[in-house]
Amino acid sequence: MAIKNIIIAVTIFVFMSCTQQQSGFTPGEIWKDDKGVHINAHGGGVLFHNNVYYWYGEHKIEGKAGNKAEVGVHCYSSTNLTDWKDEGIALEVIKNDTLHDITAGCVLERPKVIYNAKTDKFVMWFHLELKGQGYKAARSGVAISDKATGPYTFVKSFRPNAGMWPINVQDLHKAPIAPEVKNEYCGGKGCLPAHPDSINLLGRDFEGGQMARDQNLFVDDDGKAYHIYSSEENSTLHISQLSDDFLSESGNFIRIFSERYMEAPALFKRNGMYYLIASDCTGWAPNAARSAWAPNIFGPWTELDNPCVGEEAELTFRSQSTYVIPVQGKKDAFIYMGDRWMPENAIDGRYIWLPIEFEEDKPIIKWMEKWDMSVFDE
């Protein structure tokens, strides 16, 4: 009898350990999915749909080469934001057509998914760099699916807002472009010889469409969706309203924070105010985060301080923003979602998720070794 009891106890213990749910967040540690594998969804974003959270991100592979898209966009699902089920690859890169926009080996970064109630479709936007062209293409990609988890079908890639002027365009942008400016190519990720307006990058790219690299999506309470992207050689952010089906830009957009080189933008809304968390422009290396707010999505936007405080705040706790998650069912509960990139072994990238506090309505992020949802009850 005693032996039988011991066997039962051991069986229960083993079962419990195997199915053990993660009870909270441990930023920077290995984060295992339901199969026991470190989550592979970098530069990601989260969609909440029908009581389920979906996390989409870049699927990386081992080594330095793993920064390129060899697989596609990985999707996970969860009901509590801590335990994630592997839902597989939502958007696969194309393996049998080297000329395809999203052919394997392209750069496909910062995928985000939103749901369009009118069309009943899930729409994914991502930053695309064509294979073999470094970061020169600076395009936006769009894919669509009937199901949150995919499979997503590639629709198109392009440079946004071709032939459109932003709401806050200045006369100087409309002036004829000198040929040497028109042909100017600024390599790398954000080094310009002068202020972006003095070489009129907006005007330079008017016809062909604006450059779009680090990007995010935001859906407002009224159902309108916005695309925010680092443009004009990363010098300037654009916030651009999407068309009703979320598949294109509407042509209604603004430029903000010109010459601030903001990357990794994440928009959210709290008590009617719009907030932005972003980073500086230093590639995979971490830097100090930026924050800003506005009473209206189209401005005026005011820059606030580095939202991070405490040790390593100047490095965003060795992370870079990728999304801000509004926690459902809790008031004023937002999670900063960041990446601790590991460029030498991309698949080992870690996730830094931290609660956002508000002091005088301004966002504050503090390091926490371990935390759980109860922080939002305090």
Given the complex with ligand GAL, which of 138 and 356 has the nearer CB atom?
138
Shortest Å distance, C-beta 131 to ligand GAL? 15
Nearer to ligand GAL (CB atom), residue 110 or residue 173:
110
Q: Which residues contact 156 (CB under 8 A, 6 or more apart)?
A: 101, 141, 142
Question: Bridge partners of 102?
Answer: none
Q: Which residues bind to ligand GAL, rule: CB under 6 A?
A: 43, 109-110, 214, 263-264, 281, 283-284, 320
CA 157 – CA 176 distance, rounded (Å)? 28
188/310 with CB nearer ligand GAL = 188
| Separation between Cα atoms, residue 16 and residue 153, nearest integer Å | 39
Residue 186: count of CB within 10 angstroms of its CB = 18
Report the 10 Å Cβ neighbour count for 63: 13
Which residues fall within 8 angstroms of residue 164, CB to CB, at 6 or more apart?
Answer: 249, 251, 253
Nearer to ligand GAL, 264 or 308 (CB): 264
In the complex, minimum distance from the CB of residue 174 to ligand GAL, in angstroms, rounded to a whole number:
30
Q: Are 236 and 257 in contact (CB under 8 A)?
A: yes
Amino acid at 358: F
- Whether the CB-CB separation of 112 and 215 falls below 8 Å is answered with yes
Q: How far is the CB of 280 from ligand GAL (least distance, A)?
A: 9
Q: Which residue is nearest to ligand GAL (CB)?
A: 283
For the bound state, the minimum distance from the C-beta of residue 149 to ligand GAL, rounded and expressed in Å, comes to 23
Q: How far is the CB of 286 from ligand GAL (least distance, A)?
A: 10
**Contact 58/92 with Cβ under 8 angstroms?**
no
- Positive or negative torsion for Cα 50, 28, 316, 141: negative
Give the shortest CB-248-to-ligand GAL separation in angstroms.
Answer: 23
